[in-house]
Chains A and B, each alone.
Chain A
Amino acid sequence: MSTVVIVGASVGGVRTAQALRANGHDGRIVLVGAEPHLPYDKPPLSKQFLAGAWEHDRLALLTEEEAAADGIELRLGVAATGLDPVARTVELADGTSVGYDTLVIATGATARPSPWAAESGVHVLRTLGDGTGLRAALAEPGPLVVVGGGFIGAEVAATAHAAGRAVTVVDPLPAPIARVLGAEVGRLVGDVHRRHGVETRFGTGVQAVSGRVGALEVALTDGTVLPAGTVVVGIGAVPAVEWLADSGLELDNGLVCDEFCRATGHPEIFGVGDVARWFHAGHGEHVRVEHWTNAVEQAACVAHNVVHPEEPVQYRPTEYAWSDQYDWKIQIAGRPNRATGFELAGDPTTDPPRFAALYRDETGRLSAAVTVNWPKLLVAARRLITAGTPYEEGLSVLDKLIAPVSAA
């Protein structure tokens, strides 16, 4: 009976375990997780959980009953500390080890730590523990300064603003979300803060953070000093591969995998989720994606490839991410930051707005879409992108749902 060990009990690991059973794997499945909690879902941590609308139980990804029903052995509260790919064993923090026939590495990414030290009151947001701490901090009065205007920072700002806190978002880039959406659409979408009365200091860096909770000071590179009760630092995440440092596996901005999500030189080791940098055959390059849907889709592909090694499937998804900020539902399919041009549709000026940007790439295909408050259009565009639809043909299909308002 073959044993699959999955290291990492967040969405990628859990979904791999479930999909293995769905694919007919009848051997052991051992799910190893560093945190003591039952597996939980992370996207609500910056939204419903942070707002106090949802409690811990609403975040459950896998209950003990569901694990038992699927025969998933849980080893929670024990981090993996090492890997011996020759002996095929994973070493655990409690001094024990677990042997595998197939290993799935799904350890995710950890929040990039704050480079600015203060006595207390500076938070990152990645885990349930982080979320619980930040939620308690937001219950106290005093302004909030969010460092980092990416998705996490923007969602925290929106949640705190809705809770009545004075919020300022700081980012060294003039349009932070432009990293993902391109300059012009990035400006339109990044305007969400100003339109909701949240102050932004974009194009300004942080020099230092000092003080303690309730009495912090954030010194900016332009000389301004912002007072803060709480500071949140959302400046990205780094793949959690330290435990593999001595394993001999190829590590380069994550676990390097082939087009079937197998670690280089190790057909019995797979990568899933934020930690995996695999060869996307559609893009012709290695990519690493830090989004929920990617973890779920990659888990399904890996489970197939574990159970059917003789007929592995390439993992070549259309990227998809969403972010809920204030009353704006932002959805992104494909890779807008690689586009060569785009057209805008809908109306960004209404309140709330409903608009979309539809992007083309250098091959002349519809390659990406960004929508605000327009889920139906996003679904249609995502389908056309996946099908490799030529740009003009894609637009004419989508035209039935939209009336383009401008071209760029």
Chain B
Amino acid sequence: MAKLTADTDLCQGYGNCLTTADDVYDIDDDGKVVLLTETIPEADRARVEAAARSCPVKALGVVDG
């Protein structure tokens, strides 16, 4: 399992994370990221890490959980 982090202060609502992993990330009415789950299986890790790396302000993390 890997654990997801999201910094809503950093988040600017650019939305790139949703194009790669909208099963994990969503956006609220204020344009801030919402985590749909707190953990992901290792099988999803590479894809979700790519989604996290697509964040222009580095608001997202995938850490060992």
Q: Does A10 belong to the interface (CB within 8 Å)? A: no
Query: With A and B bound together, what is the CA distance between A376 and B25 in angstroms?
Result: 12
Asked if residues A22 and B18 are in contact (CB atoms below 8 Å), the reply is no
Query: With A and B bound together, what is the CA distance between A374 and B16 in angstroms?
Result: 15
Contacts of B16 in A (CB 8 A): 293, 296, 320
Chain A residue with Cβ nearest B55: A296
Q: Does A18 belong to the interface (CB within 8 Å)? A: yes
Smallest distance from the beta carbon of A367 to chain B beta carbons, Å? 17
Asked if residues B54 and A376 are in contact (CB atoms below 8 Å), the reply is no
Asked if residues A375 and B31 are in contact (CB atoms below 8 Å), the reply is yes
Contacts of B15 in A (CB 8 A): 331, 375, 378-379, 382
Of B18, B46, B54, the residue contacting A383 (CB under 8 A) is B18
> How many residues on chain A are close to B (CB under 8 Å)?
25
Asked if residues B14 and A375 are in contact (CB atoms below 8 Å), the reply is yes
Contacts of A376 in B (CB 8 A): 13, 27-29, 31
Query: With A and B bound together, what is the CA distance between A195 and B28 in angstroms?
Result: 28
Smallest distance from the beta carbon of B35 to chain A beta carbons, Å? 15
Of B12, B22, B27, B50, the residue contacting A22 (CB under 8 A) is B50
Q: Binding site of A, secondary structure by majority: helix, strand, loop or mixed?
A: helix
Q: Does A329 belong to the interface (CB within 8 Å)? A: yes
Interface residues of B in 1-50 (CB under 8 A from A): 12-16, 18-19, 22, 27-29, 31, 46, 49-50
Asked if residues A296 and B12 are in contact (CB atoms below 8 Å), the reply is no
Interface residues of A in 287-308 (CB under 8 A from B): 292-293, 296-297, 300
Smallest distance from the beta carbon of A318 to chain B beta carbons, Å? 8
Interface string of A27-54 (1 = CB under 8 A from B): 0000000000000010100000000000
Given contacts A22-B49, A376-B27, contact A296 B13 (CB under 8 A): no
Q: Does A202 belong to the interface (CB within 8 Å)? A: no
Q: Does A15 belong to the interface (CB within 8 Å)? A: yes
Given contacts A375-B27, A375-B31, A376-B29, contact A329 B50 (CB under 8 A): no
Contacts of A41 in B (CB 8 A): 56
Contacts of A19 in B (CB 8 A): 50
Asked if residues B13 and A375 are in contact (CB atoms below 8 Å), the reply is yes
**Interface-central residue, A41, A329, A374, A375, by most chain B CB under 10 Å:** A375
Contacts of A296 in B (CB 8 A): 16, 53-54
Asked if residues B54 and A329 are in contact (CB atoms below 8 Å), the reply is no
Q: Does A322 belong to the interface (CB within 8 Å)? A: yes
Smallest distance from the beta carbon of B30 to chain A beta carbons, Å? 8
Contacts of B29 in A (CB 8 A): 376
Smallest distance from the beta carbon of B58 to chain A beta carbons, Å? 9
Chain A residue with Cβ nearest B18: A379
Asked if residues B56 and A22 are in contact (CB atoms below 8 Å), the reply is no
Smallest distance from the beta carbon of A273 to chain B beta carbons, Å? 14
Query: With A and B bound together, what is the CA distance between A292 and B12 in angstroms?
Result: 15
Contacts of B56 in A (CB 8 A): 41, 43, 292-293, 322
Asked if residues B54 and A293 are in contact (CB atoms below 8 Å), the reply is yes
Smallest distance from the beta carbon of A43 to chain B beta carbons, Å? 6
Q: Does A258 belong to the interface (CB within 8 Å)? A: no
Chain A residue with Cβ nearest B32: A375
Contacts of B53 in A (CB 8 A): 15, 18, 296
Query: With A and B bound together, what is the CA distance between A233 and B49 in angstroms?
Result: 37
Asked if residues B46 and A22 are in contact (CB atoms below 8 Å), the reply is yes
Interface residues of A in 152-205 (CB under 8 A from B): none
Chain A residue with Cβ nearest B16: A293
**Interface-central residue, A15, A43, A379, A382, by most chain B CB under 10 Å:** A379
Query: With A and B bound together, what is the CA distance between A15 and B55 in angstroms?
Result: 12
Contacts of B46 in A (CB 8 A): 22
Contacts of A324 in B (CB 8 A): 12
Smallest distance from the beta carbon of B44 to chain A beta carbons, Å? 13
Residues in B lying within 8 Å of A, measured CB to CB? 12-16, 18-19, 22, 27-29, 31, 46, 49-50, 53-54, 56
Q: 4 tightest A-B contacts by CB?
A: A375-B13, A375-B31, A379-B15, A376-B27
Given contacts A297-B19, A375-B15, A375-B27, 5 further A-B contacts (CB under 8 A): A41-B56, A322-B14, A324-B12, A378-B15, A379-B13
